[in-house]
Amino acid sequence: MRRSLTGIKDRWTSAGPGGSVVRHLLPAAAATLFVLAFLRWQGEQLGLYGTTAGLLLMTAASIGIISGLVLHLARSLDHASATQLEVQQRLRHSSQYFELSHDMVCTAGFDGVFRELNHAWTEALGWTETELRSRPFVEFVHPDDRERTAQETACLADGKTTADFYNRYATKDGQWRWIEWKARADLEDGTIYASARDVTHRKSAEAALERGERQTRQILATAHDAFVSIDGEGTIIDWNPQAEASFGWSREEALGRELATTIIPEGNREAHTRGLARFLETGEGKVVGKRLELTALNRDGYEFPVELTISPLMTDRGYIFNAFLRDISERKRATEDIADARDLALQASSTKSMFVATASHEIRTPINGVIGVSEMLLDTDLNDEQRGYAETIISSGEALVEIIDDLLDFSKIEAGRLDLDLADVDLRETIAQACSMLAVQARCKGLELVVVVDADVPALVRADAGRWRQVVANFVSNSIKFTAEGEITVRASASRSTGSTTVVRLEVTDTGIGIEDTALGQLFEPYSQADGSTTRLFGGTGLGLAISKQLIELMGGQIGVESQIGRGSSFWFEVEVEVAVIDGREEGSEGVSEPVDPADCVPPNGSSRCILVVEDNPVNQLVTGRLVEKCGFEAQIAGNGRQALEAMSDGRFAAVLMDCQMPELDGDETTREIRRRALGKWRIPIIAVTANAMHGERERCIAQGADDYLTKPLRHEALRGALDRWVPDSPQGLLSPSGSRGPAPRPV
């Protein structure tokens, strides 16, 4: 009986079609039986069963009731069948969703074993469904996450829902994947229903973002620059340790304060407020994205310079502005110190240059007397011993002049005031002149000096003849110094000609002692020679090659040397030069603009045989006067500018030799006064004579009114050449090397 009741209960509560039939049919059957029993009782009470009509009526009623019961049963079966179809359809839909879902869907029991899993699990972890169901799911969980997973499962057993729970599951290839869970449990049947997602990539991105944020925060914390961030209202929202050190406010004090009243001087606050408002309105700002130098305010009230860079950033809360500020007080002071040091260096360089120029002038003046008097001595009757002494004095004086010239040139190089004086130059003649100056020195050592100029070297080029002679002479002099026997060959050649330009290579080869490879790199350094002992053995300042290198580089060329110990050396340079126009000159080119008109140089009342020598030094008066006489003229001496003006008013002179530095009235003032007095009259040639060989001295003298320029010590050949150029009927009648008498006199 109890089992029957239990069966009825189970069928009554069943969710299947049988349960549905029982729930519909059992009440109807019970009601039918009750109605039949009632009708039977009524029939017996009324005595209907004793008659045929009563029996028929009872039978018809029973048939009707049973028919109704059958119809109700049929409807119940139809309803149960429809319910079953709907359930089956829902099951199919659930199964398809279960398999096709991108989420990892599963069911499990509280025993910790998977019951069902969709294909997404296999795709994510690589395990088959069988492998996943073969052991408790906690064994797939990362050891560090197992305790949390067990706790979360226990919460499900307590009826709680799991959401946003993360743990790591092992893949079949040994990696770990982050899984995000949502789950709940059916406590009646003990089933856990769960949906999971592989969020490994998101976790990696979050970890990278977190690392980046930590790194950024660490960088800001250790940065040497102050970092300040404000919102659109100008309120400070970030403040690093360096900002604390720079401005005197702690992070806790600074956060929430207005930037303007915290670090901006009062005079700049209005501009800051306007600029912030303008950017928020237009998206444009004068300080955004630029590096600027501004003034900042410390908490203690003092202002200091900062370098500012600021950039805006749009966030979900609006604009924020991030700024780096660097205290540049030290840099400003260093810049000022550097500027002061530069000024001192320039002043020292100028002082040194002035000293070198003054020393050069002061040395050249007595050397002019030493060499001049010695040359005058050679014109007298001397025995061989006396003549040797006089020649030694001259050669020693010339050597001293060379040293002075080297020091002067190097001083100009250091000061950056070494320039080129370009003109149309005959390179053959220039090279020959440089070598001829040293030919006697080579012969005295028994050396043969050979000069070879290839036919492809242009006849006329644009160059600085003096600097070319200087470099060639330095090379040849160096070879003579270090060559005991043999020969020295000077060769000039041309290559890579383009028509308007050509590259000229000059090479000086000797048979001297040679140079060690380790010393080659130092040869063109100032005060350097191949060996320290050569300074004592061979003499020299060690500046010649250094100056040559600077000159060649100033010309845009290259310089070098090859050498072998015991076999000799070869010094060379290459310079690209412009080929000069021979038959005509381009417009605007420098050079002779008019032929010489001798009539402009001749006094109107006939020729004069007298040269006025304006010189304050008695020794130089003697030397210069004697040199003038050797050139075939008479000499009249004036001890200063005033005496010269008096002499000019009393007589006529063929030319004036004007010393530039004199007491009372110097050469420049005297020259200007002569030109002023002779305005509209015949222009007398004035040749400036100076011991100042600094660059620009010639131009300065010409600008003062001089026609030519000679440096001390004054040599006979140089003076004779100048007189030939400016006095048309000079007794010597010699032309200048170029075949003309020089620049035409300019009208006063």
Both 15 and 146 in one domain: the answer is: no
Dihedral angle at the C-alpha atoms of 255, 259, 264, 268, nearest 10 degrees? -170
- Strand positions, DSSP E, 280-403: 291-297, 303-315, 318-327
- Give every CB contact of residue 219 below 8 A, 6+ residues apart in sequence: none
Residue position matching structure tokens 């795709």: 123
CATH number of domain containing 432: 3.30.565.10
Both 91 and 127 in one domain: the answer is: no
Both 439 and 548 in one domain: the answer is: yes
- Report the pLDDT value the prediction gives residue 527, as an integer from 0 to 100: 52
Q: Cα angle at 345 between 343 and 348, to 5 degrees? A: 110
Which of 97, 132, 162 marks a domain boundary? Answer: 97
Dihedral angle at the C-alpha atoms of 460, 466, 469, 471, nearest 10 degrees? -120
For residue 643, being part of any structural domain is answered with yes
Both 194 and 245 in one domain: the answer is: no
pTM of the model: 0.44
For residue 400, being part of any structural domain is answered with no
Residues 123, 139: Cα–Cα separation, whole Å = 19
Both 503 and 620 in one domain: the answer is: no
For residue 358, being part of any structural domain is answered with no
CATH number of domain containing 672: 3.40.50.2300
Which of 40, 75, 97 marks a domain boundary? Answer: 97
Amino acid identity of 366? Answer: P
Both 557 and 459 in one domain: the answer is: yes
Both 43 and 131 in one domain: the answer is: no
User: Quick one: tokens of 274?
Assistant: 């306007």
Domain extent, residue 475, equals 419-579
- Report the pLDDT value the prediction gives residue 24, as an integer from 0 to 100: 62
Both 521 and 652 in one domain: the answer is: no
Residues 672, 666: Cα–Cα separation, whole Å = 10
Render the burial of 138-170: b for 16+ CB within 10 Å, e for the rest. Answer: eebbeeebeeebeebbeebeeeeebeebebbbb
For residue 625, being part of any structural domain is answered with yes
For residue 376, being part of any structural domain is answered with no
Which of 311, 327, 343 marks a domain boundary? Answer: 327
CATH number of domain containing 198: 3.30.450.20
Both 122 and 201 in one domain: the answer is: yes
- Report the pLDDT value the prediction gives residue 403, as an integer from 0 to 100: 73
If you count them, how many residues does the chain have? Answer: 748
For residue 372, being part of any structural domain is answered with no
- Report the pLDDT value the prediction gives residue 242, as an integer from 0 to 100: 92
Residue position matching structure tokens 């240059």: 353
Distances (CA, A) of 503 to 132, 456, 576, 647, 726: 87, 11, 4, 53, 36
- Report the pLDDT value the prediction gives residue 609, as an integer from 0 to 100: 84
Both 607 and 551 in one domain: the answer is: no
Both 484 and 543 in one domain: the answer is: yes
For residue 632, being part of any structural domain is answered with yes
Sheet harboring 634-638: ordered strands across? 634-638, 610-614, 655-659, 686-690, 708-711
Helices 618-630, 329-378: crossing angle, 10 deg rounding: 60
pLDDT < 70: residue spans in the chain: 1-37, 39-40, 42-62, 64-74, 76-101, 357, 361, 411-417, 521-522, 526-542, 581-607, 679-680, 693-696, 729-748
Both 429 and 556 in one domain: the answer is: yes
For residue 335, being part of any structural domain is answered with no
Residues 717, 714: Cα–Cα separation, whole Å = 9
How many domains, the chain?
5
